[in-house]
Amino acid sequence: MLINGKESEFADVRTVADLLKALELEKGAVAVELNREVVPRADHLRTTLHEGDQLEVVTLVGGG
């Protein structure tokens, strides 16, 4: 999987929720995009990941 532009591999990561847990971001204010479509938080548990998926995990930072 490509996560935030970096090739990454995880064991036991099946869903978006699993991935956020593996990244220790399950409690953070983050939004997830899977293959250029937003995955709403309510769908994290049931959205499964596959090889070759491209993910963006984003948050809010200071900006103008």
Partner 1 sequence: MTSPQTQPASNPTHDTTLRVGGRKLGSRLIVGTGKYADFTQMEQALDASGADAITVAVRRERLYNEKGESLLDHIDLARYTILPNTAGCFTAEDAVRVARLGRELLDQLGNPGKDWVKLEVLADKKTLLPDPLGTLEACRTLVKDGFEVLCYTSDDPVMALRLRDAGAASVMPAGSPIGSGQGVLNPNAIRIILEMLKDPANGGTPDYPVIVDAGVGTASDVSIAMELGSDGVLLNTGIAHARDPVTMAHAMRHALEAGRLAYLAGRIPKKLYATASSPWDGVISYIPGE
Where does this chain bind partner 1 (CB under 8 A)? 3-6, 23, 25, 28-33, 36, 38, 40-41, 56-64
d(CA 41, CA 62): 23
Complex with partner 1: residue 6 or 50, whichever CB lies closer: 6
d(CA 56, CA 33): 5
Complex with partner 1: residue 29 or 50, whichever CB lies closer: 29
Complex with partner 1: residue 14 or 41, whichever CB lies closer: 41
| Residue 50 Cβ vs partner 1, minimum distance, rounded to whole Å | 20
Angle, CA 55 vertex, CA 7 and CA 16 arms, to 5°: 110
